[in-house]
Amino acid sequence: MKVCDKLYIDGQWVAPLDGGPGPIDVIDSSTEEVIGRVAQGSVKDVDVAVAAARAAFETWSQTPVDVRAKYLRDIGAALTARFSDIASVIQGEVGSPKAFAEMVQAGLSVGDWENYASVIENFEWEEQLGNSLVVREPIGVVGAITPWNYPLYLIVCKVGPALAAGCTVVLKPASLTPLNAILLTEVIDEVGLPAGVFNLVPGPGGEVGEALAKHPDIDMVSLTGSGPVGAQVSKDAADTVKRVGLELGGKSANVVLDDADPQAVAMGAVFSCFLNSGQTCSALTRLLIPRSREQEFLDAIVEEASKVKLVDPHADEPDIFHSLGPMVSRQQAETVRNYIQKGIDEGAKVLVGGPEQPEGFEKGYYVKPTVFAGVTPDMTIAQEEIFGPVLSVLTYEDDDDAVRIANGTVFGLSGAVQSADVERAKRVALRMRTGQVDINGAPFNTQAPFGGYKQSGNTRERGRWGLEEFLETKSIQLP
Ligand code: NAD
């Protein structure tokens, strides 16, 4: 069991002031056992951490790019040395199966530091425009608030570019999954990042998160999380007119055009929805198929979804495409089951799965991977983010109808188009009101911008765009 009774502020591990709100237990999602205990901070600790980050900003922001890049590479290397610890922690606190935890959760988290080092080395920090010198500068002190689903990678998507930009950071990780953040902090301490540049204050969202959003000495708050929390953070940040970066939820559409091959589409359609047990913001949770070929596509999807099995995240199960762990928490499992029941109540037809407790998994927060057919665009399971392994299959009449349904939610995070004709797929992709679209299962690109339209957010993370979120722009007029 991992116990951390300290916060990390100004380069030191320190006890929460006045004891803080008390420690939180970290639960293994598959065994329901306590695997860690972590100290939580309060508003007072946030004040101290922000003061440390403010004091460190002047020097860190003026630190040459090559020196900052070296620190990033050192962090990446030190994290790589702890690769299996990262994967193992995330198998426990999130419930990601071993192969997925290694390849995706740990793999993305250790690899991205090199990306940001290289982005700042190749970035145009200044530009001459007539008699003006236009310079890009770090925005200042950043409050970073992160979720539990890809807990370390989503921290890296903020802390990496913020540090690269020359900002200093106070991080509040998700309360369900703080162990990976502690591991990262140990690494940051080990590589000797200057004191105050990075600070860690775990704690309740409504207290520590709120304090970061409201703090007058924080220049930007960057949240990855749910829509309601995003709205609250925006309101809390408004009085101090700080920049607010939001990466929020989705209900993304996978549009299968009528020339696509059902067998070629089925595996990706199921995997991209059930990924990380459906706890993926960009999961393609609405599958739009042509009414003219409905049965063919349904048959292929049912065959594929029936191969998916629930597994113990700690077991050696190499088939990443067909192995699902539990939900992160009991509450999340209940939320997902309630949505499945709601789908049934509203008239959708369960083809695979259902709301019952899966047999043989009485312990752990498991739910049955579920596929619904007969879903109409107005149903709850076609509109709301479920954040579990639930695929809603809808039919459409023609391409215009498909685009209308795809764009018919409050979200706009991700999407996909499947077609035998890539140019036709591109035309549909360009009409989708969403931050990214994958054509025919094209691979994820960690250098490409990632973020949402509409209520899915207002920012872009990753690569050069991720860096720019943390920059200000100044014009210096030359005589
Ligand atoms: P959440 O909104 O409940 O919590 C996110 C973070 O905000 C946590 O650290 C939480 O403690 C904190 N928080 C809660 N209340 C707060 C408040 N009042 N002020 C400040 N901070 C507060 O989300 P979650 O359940 O951890 O994560 C799941 C959600 O995150 C889903 O909606 C998912 O789609 C979204 N998400 C989006 C992306 C993306 O890149 N767009 C990536 C992953 C997850």
Contact predicate 170/141, CB 8 Å: yes
Residues 377-404 have a mean pLDDT of: 98
The Cβ of residue 62 has, within 10 Å, a number of other Cβ atoms equal to 9
Please state, for a pLDDT cut of 70, what percent of the chain lies above it. 100
Measuring from atom 21 of ligand 1, which residue has the nearest CA?
A: 209
pLDDT in tens, 203-216: 999 999 999 999 99
Mean pLDDT of 262-273: 97
> Which of 26, 46, 90, 149 most suits a substitution to test ligand 1, by most atoms within 8 Å of the C-beta?
149
Q: Which residues pair with 415 in a beta bridge?
A: 253
Ligand 1 atom nearest to CA at 157: 40
What pLDDT, in 10s, does the model give residues 406-441?
Answer: 999 999 999 999 999 999 999 999 999 999 999 999
* Under 8 Å between Cβ of 147 and 102: no
Q: Sorting pLDDT into bands at 50, 70 and 90, what band is 221?
A: very high
For this structure, is 157 an active site residue?
A: no
Predicted pLDDT of residue 220: 98
Catalytic residue list contains 247: yes
Separation between Cα atoms, residue 365 and residue 13, nearest integer Å: 33
370 lines ligand 1 (CB under 6 A): no
CA proximity to 201, closest of 461, 470, 10, 61: 10
What is the pTM (predicted TM-score) of this model? Answer: 0.98
Burial 398-419 (b: 16+ CB within 10 A, else e): ebeebbebbbbbebbbbbbbbb
146 lines ligand 1 (CB under 6 A): yes
Confidence of residue 172 (pLDDT cuts 50, 70, 90): very high
Q: What is the pLDDT of residue 13?
A: 98
pLDDT of residue 112: 95
Write down the catalytic residue from 102, 247, 461, 469: 247
pLDDT at residue 101 in the model = 98
Q: How far is the CA of 477 from the centre of ligand 1 (A)?
A: 42
Per-residue pLDDT tens over the stretch 346-363: 999 999 999 999 999 999
Element (H, E) at 373: strand 370-373
pLDDT at 340: 98
Q: Which string of b and e fits 380-390 if b means at least 16 CB within 10 Å?
A: bbbebbbbbbb
Summary mean pLDDT of the chain: 98
107-153: per-residue pLDDT in tens? 999 999 999 999 999 999 999 999 999 999 999 999 999 999 999 99
Residue 353's pLDDT is 98
